[in-house]
Amino acid sequence: MNTLKLQYFFDPLCGWCYASAPALAGLAAAYPDALELMPSGLFSEHGARAMSPEWVAHAWGNDQRIARLTGQHYSEAYHRDVLQGEDVRFDSGPANRALTAIRMLAPRLETHFLHEMQRQRYVEGLDTALPSVLGNIAAATGAESGIPLDAGQFSHRLMHDVLLEQATIERIAVTQRLMQRYGVAGIPQLLVRTGNSEQILHGAVLYRGEQALLAAVERAASSMAA
């Protein structure tokens, strides 16, 4: 029997990826062993930037469009304290390292951790580019699942753990090679694979909620098995 594999291409600071969070949560619940998060590195390294007034206006306008189309909430606290905050950088590097650290510890916790990072950023207005913020989120998320994590130690790893940094770089490189192989240009995207067959589910189906995405995955898997 062919094994189903679901690879989700994303960036933790991508607004459209936040729009797909409800559908992704349903996918993680239905296929916990098949789902693999694939961080693309879109907004890290050369993709990171300072929060210039022009970028803030662009990001907030895009966020409002996403909110209108999908119903996802972007709070005034996020607008004020993250987009317009002092010394804030638009940089998903620390979040990518945090996701990799969580995956090393408890792979099934990673999707929930991603969702909590998104909630803390877009709803609570916390800067998820800061290791200290990510450490607190990791500790709280771990506690919910009975996994003890020290916030300070976690934050320290994000800044100083060379092996974690290298593992994250390699993970992003694997994602980028897959995206190039399948001609995936934007995010979020979901690659459905079974046996030697694969099919890309593009972003739109990820914004329609859990049931629509699960149905699309089932259709894709059935068509490839036929």
The type of residue at 45 is E
Residue 64, domain extent: 4-225
Reduce the DSSP state of residue 169 to 3 states and report it. helix
Helix extents (H) in 2-71: 15-19, 21-30, 53-70
Percent of the chain with pLDDT over 90: 93
| Report field, pTM of the whole predicted structure over 0.75 | yes
The total number of structural domains in the chain stands at 1
Q: What is the DSSP letter of 208?
A: S
Close Cβ partners of 179 (under 8 Å, ≥ 6 residues apart): 9, 40, 185, 189
Output the six-digit token pair for 150. Answer: 């020290």
Q: What is the DSSP letter of 79?
A: I
pLDDT digit string (tens) for 13-35?
Answer: 999 999 999 999 999 999 999 99
pLDDT for residue 225: 79
How far, in Å, CA of 96 to CA of 135, rounded?
13
- Report the CATH number at residue 60: 3.40.30.10
pLDDT for residue 207: 93
Provide the 10 A C-beta neighbour count for residue 58.
11
Mean pLDDT of the chain: 95
